């Protein structure tokens, strides 16, 4: 079993963020939401580890106010 990585782990995180924003540019809210859903499913399939995916769901559900 692998553990979910929550520390920074993306080379060029600012570049990735800019790319992510770019693919959403000009989309209606519903299309942007659909793109996000497809991206989540593509990445979840790539990860493939159900325990890691469950950890990710739990981490994403935490509200940090």
Three-state secondary structure string covering 38-54 = HHHHHHHHHHCCHHHHH
Place of tokens 């979840």: 44
Chain centroid to CA 65: how far? 20
Tokens of 41: 């499913």
Q: What is the mean pLDDT of residues 1-17?
A: 93
64 against 50, higher pLDDT = 50
Provide the whole-model pTM.
Answer: 0.86
Delimit the domains of the chain by residue range: 26-65
Share of the chain above pLDDT 70, in %: 97
Provide the 3-class DSSP secondary structure of residue 56. helix
Band of residue 60 on the pLDDT scale cut at 50, 70, 90:
very high
């Amino acid at each position: 079993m692998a553990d979910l990585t929550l520390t920074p782990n993306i080379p060029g995180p600012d570049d990735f963020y800019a790319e992510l924003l770019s693919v959403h540019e000009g989309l209606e809210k519903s299309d942007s939401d659909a793109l996000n859903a497809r991206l989540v499913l593509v990445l979840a399939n790539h990860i493939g580890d159900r325990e890691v995916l469950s950890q990710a769901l739990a981490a994403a559900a935490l509200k940090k106010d």
